[in-house]
């Protein structure tokens, strides 16, 4: 066999093997920014270790969340009466467009001024968790910018950590009792996250999968000591496609034996900007002749459009400029 052909096949094989592994990045290592940039380009996803999140705070939130989800359904619904929709408790339905999953959930916002009647211990646990997860997310956003060689490494963090930014905390609970008979395996259907990024932590029950570039699904083994980072749609636009948002899902198969009685619990932080923030490729990143791949839009416009679509839709497609070099229009122009 021709030596060059053999070498080419070996490179392709090695590349596939690398893509079939979840990137693991030590946030304290000197090369973390470059490693994060590589992971955001190749997978849109990575596992972060040495993240600095206190074990006690995460374990307390997990315990309080499980206690909340163990309450009678009526009590959980009543606890959401004070929330502004779509915040609060939900079960089965994902959004308002007919998507369903084998889960129940609780969504809270750092800036929501409503007065729900949730258990006090759970409120305190979520507040404490939000404080530390915001710091970790901010550090990751700085490293994302640094990995692109940007002079202003605060550009992404500044969008998320400012007054009026759209930061959410979501608790997803997948008990065996909610697994759908008519759609076996459905936990939370495939989708991308609209925000800049999301940061996920789960208990030891598996289910998370990410889509690779070739369309295959890669199971992500749970790791209670690590956090997982997803690139979101807004970050894809801000980097003009350099970083790619990752399609992911949760598969809740019945399993056998011990798996039948275990519930998956995941805690997801979503980092979004203020509603009026305009989402366009960052000027300091664009080359002299580089053209934006996307229309200009605000976060409020994109969020509104995204939540009107089915979960699995390609939410960025309506905002994609079909021909590079076309005159840029706003997302709301006719």
pLDDT, tens digit (0-9, with 9 covering 90-100), for 183-230: 777 899 999 999 999 999 999 999 999 999 899 999 999 999 999 999
- pLDDT tens figures, 44-85: 999 999 999 988 999 999 999 999 999 999 999 988 777 777
Residues 114-137 have a mean pLDDT of 91
Two tokens, residue 42: 């190749």
Residue 107: predicted pLDDT: 95
Confidence label for 283 from pLDDT (cuts 50, 70 and 90): confident
Sign of CA dihedral 183, 265, 115, 134: negative
Kindly tell me the burial class for residue 150, based on how many C-beta atoms sit within 10 Å of its own C-beta (0-12, 13-18, 19 or more). middle
Residues 318-330 have a mean pLDDT of 61
Confidence label for 2 from pLDDT (cuts 50, 70 and 90): low
Q: Vertex 202, ends 200 and 205: CA angle to 5°?
A: 140
Residues 246-258 have a mean pLDDT of 75
Residue 322: predicted pLDDT: 67
32 contact partners, CB below 8 Å, separation of at least 6: 25, 26, 143
Q: What's the mean pLDDT when you consider all of the chain?
A: 87
| Beta-bridge mates of residue 94 | 99
Does residue 304 have a pLDDT over 70?
A: yes
Confidence label for 261 from pLDDT (cuts 50, 70 and 90): low
Beta-sheet pairing, 227-231 with 197-202: antiparallel
Confidence label for 16 from pLDDT (cuts 50, 70 and 90): very low
Residue 162: predicted pLDDT: 87
Using omega within 30 degrees of 0 as the cis cutoff, is the peptide bond preceding 86 cis? yes
């Amino acid at each position: 066999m021709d030596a060059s052909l053999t070498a080419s096949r070996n490179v392709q094989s090695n590349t596939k093997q690398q893509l079939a592994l979840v990137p693991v990045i030590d946030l304290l290592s000197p090369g973390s920014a470059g490693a994060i940039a590589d992971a955001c380009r190749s997978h849109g996803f990575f596992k972060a270790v040495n993240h600095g999140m206190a074990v006690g705070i995460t374990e307390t939130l997990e315990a309080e969340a499980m206690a909340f989800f163990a309450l009678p359904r009526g009590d959980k619904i009543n606890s959401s009466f004070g929330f502004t929709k779509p915040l609060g408790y939900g079960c089965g339905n994902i959004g308002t467009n007919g998507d369903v999953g084998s889960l129940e959930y609780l969504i809270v916002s750092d800036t929501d001024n409503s007065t729900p009647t949730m258990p006090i211990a759970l409120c305190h646990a979520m507040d404490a968790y939000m404080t530390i997860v915001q710091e970790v997310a901010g550090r990751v956003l700085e490293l994302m910018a640094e990995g692109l060689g940007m002079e202003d490494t605060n550009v992404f963090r500044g969008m998320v950590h400012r007054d009026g930014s759209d930061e959410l905390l979501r608790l997803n609970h997948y008990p065996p009792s909610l697994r759908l008979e008519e759609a076996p395996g459905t936990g939370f259907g495939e989708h991308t996250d609209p925000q800049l990024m999301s940061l996920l932590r789960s208990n030891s029950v598996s289910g998370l999968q990410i889509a690779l570039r070739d369309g295959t699904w890669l199971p992500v083994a749970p790791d209670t000591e690590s956090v997982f980072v997803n690139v979101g749609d807004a970050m894809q636009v801000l980097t003009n496609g350099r970083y790619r948002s990752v399609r992911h899902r949760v598969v809740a198969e019945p399993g056998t034996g011990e798996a039948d009685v275990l519930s998956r619990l995941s805690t997801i932080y979503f980092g979004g900007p203020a509603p009026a923030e305009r989402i366009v490729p960052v000027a300091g990143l664009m080359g002299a002749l580089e053209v934006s791949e996307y229309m200009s839009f605000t976060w409020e416009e994109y969020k509104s459009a995204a939540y009107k679509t089915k979960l699995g839709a390609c939410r960025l497609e309506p905002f994609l400029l079909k021909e590079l070099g076309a005159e840029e229009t706003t997302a709301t122009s006719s």
